């Protein structure tokens, strides 16, 4: 694509240059009292034809030297080696064409003596070739720079994709271990419920594996996974947990990082619900805040041990077991947010009053 575009630019510039040279020749010819416009057209046309053919020969023969663009002196030396071709071929071909056309028209083409003519034309064509060689060097260097930048961008994108895939693969076994621990606990109290939960887990894992194959998924799909996870966990804790889902239908198509809502919910079950016997209310909400999409998971009983309000998940890695640690799930999610959105996305944990913890994920909203 870049090569085709550059070729078009060069052809257009070449044609415009010769069109300008022809117009100047016609203007000078008419100023000198000439009336046969075919003559200046022939002069410039023959020059343009011959030098275009010679230039194409040079370009085709030196195309293999494109790798020397980073060594300009070497590249220019190889191009300069073609100057004798112009010196030997340009004048005989151009003036041969002019003499032939004039003879067909029944006229004689007159010009300066051959020695003087050769010196003048060789000087002119040398200057012309050097000028366009410099232009060609600039265009080829620019094209190479764009190609290198494109390759770098593609390599960066592939690296980011591989990193996201690795992070997503970390989420799946982490989630699976926690869910299996839940089923293991149920096996001692209610085998039928454990069996039903295991079936639900299989369905959930199938959906989770599919979601983990892509970097982003709609909020609707993330809600579906979060609801399924909540059902599995509610089977274990029963009346100890109450969930409230506050998400408007207009937000459901918006993209989120794949497997991003479930770790926020899992954090509540692990560090709040599991640590107490009293009922815990959990609210899952999503809203638009200007150009951002804000997703929140908050409870009414959790605490951030030793952490001030409005801290991020990294601030509490050293919190006591009674508090809430980000752990693998939130650390993983934060890394994926950084890969996908850079500094435009944040993940924070806030202490609520009189009790409770809010996990808030804020990311740029594309639509």
Q: What is the pLDDT of residues 119-142, one digit of tens each?
A: 988 898 889 888 888 888 887 888
Q: How far is CA 8 from the centre of its chain?
A: 26
CA 165 – CA 212 distance, rounded (Å): 7
Tell me which long-range contacts 192-201 makes (C-beta under 8 A, separation of at least 24). Answer: 193/235, 196/235, 197/232, 197/235, 197/236, 200/228, 200/231, 200/232, 200/235, 201/232
Determine which helix (DSSP H) or strand (DSSP E) holds 35, and give its type and residue range: none
In 3-state terms, what secondary structure has residue 292?
A: strand
CA 164 – CA 162 distance, rounded (Å): 5
Q: Is the pLDDT at 312 greater than 50, yes or no?
A: no
Q: Is the pLDDT at 284 greater than 90, yes or no?
A: yes
Tokens 């370009």, residue located: 59
**366 phi and psi, to 5 degrees?**
-75, -25
- The region of weakest confidence among 43-47, 57-61, 207-211, 313-317 is 313-317
Mean pLDDT of 142-170: 67
Q: Is the pLDDT at 173 greater than 70, yes or no?
A: no
Q: Percentage of residues in the chain with pLDDT exceeding 70?
A: 81
In 3-state terms, what secondary structure has residue 352?
A: coil
pLDDT of residue 310: 40
Q: How confident is the model at residue 5 (pLDDT cuts 50, 70, 90)?
A: low
Quote the radius of gyration of the chain (alpha carbons, Å): 37
Q: Is the pLDDT at 270 greater than 80, yes or no?
A: yes
Where helices occur in 105-242 by DSSP H, the ranges are 114-186, 191-211, 219-237
Average pLDDT, the chain: 80
**217 phi and psi, to 5 degrees?**
-150, 155
Q: How confident is the model at residue 322 (pLDDT cuts 50, 70, 90)?
A: very low
Mean pLDDT of 263-280: 88
Predicted model pTM:
0.50
Q: How confident is the model at residue 253 (pLDDT cuts 50, 70, 90)?
A: very high
pLDDT tens for 72-101 read 888 888 888 889 998 999 999 999 999 999
pLDDT of residue 271: 87
Mean pLDDT of 324-333: 68
């Amino acid at each position: 694509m870049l090569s085709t575009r550059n070729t078009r630019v060069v052809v257009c510039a070449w044609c415009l240059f010769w069109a300008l040279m022809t117009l100047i020749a016609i203007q000078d010819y008419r100023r000198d009292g000439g009336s046969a416009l075919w003559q200046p057209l022939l002069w410039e046309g023959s020059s343009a034809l011959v030098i275009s053919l010679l230039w194409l020969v040079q370009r085709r023969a030196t195309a293999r030297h494109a790798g020397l663009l980073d060594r300009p002196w070497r590249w220019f030396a190889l191009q300069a080696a073609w100057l004798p071709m112009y010196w030997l071929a340009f004048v005989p071909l151009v003036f041969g064409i002019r003499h032939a056309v004039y003879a067909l028209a029944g006229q004689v083409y007159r010009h300066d003596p051959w020695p003087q003519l050769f010196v003048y034309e060789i000087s002119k064509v040398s200057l012309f070739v050097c000028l366009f060689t410099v232009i060609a060097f600039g265009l080829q260097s620019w094209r190479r720079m764009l190609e290198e930048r494109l390759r770098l961008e593609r390599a960066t994108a592939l690296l980011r994709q591989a990193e996201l895939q690795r992070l997503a693969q970390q989420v799946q076994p982490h989630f699976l271990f926690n869910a299996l621990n839940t089923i293991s606990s149920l096996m001692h109290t209610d085998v039928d419920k454990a069996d039903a939960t295991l079936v639900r887990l299989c369905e959930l894992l199938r959906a989770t594996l599919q979601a983990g194959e892509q970097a982003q998924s709609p909020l609707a799909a993330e809600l579906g996974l979060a609801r399924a996870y909540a059902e599995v966990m509610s089977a274990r804790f029963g009346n100890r947990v109450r969930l409230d889902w506050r998400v408007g239908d207009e937000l459901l198509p918006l993209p989120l990082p794949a497997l991003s809502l479930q770790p926020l919910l899992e954090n509540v079950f692990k560090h709040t619900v599991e640590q107490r016997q009293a009922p815990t209310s959990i609210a899952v909400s999503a809203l638009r805040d200007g150009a951002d999409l804000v997703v929140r998971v908050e409870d009414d009983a959790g605490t951030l041990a030793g952490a001030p309000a409005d801290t991020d998940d990294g601030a509490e890695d050293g919190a006591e077991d009674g508090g809430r640690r980000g752990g693998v799930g939130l650390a993983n999610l934060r890394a994926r947010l950084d890969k996908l959105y850079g500094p435009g996305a944040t993940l924070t944990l806030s202490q609520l009053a009189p009790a409770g913890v809010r996990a808030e994920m804020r990311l740029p909203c594309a639509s």
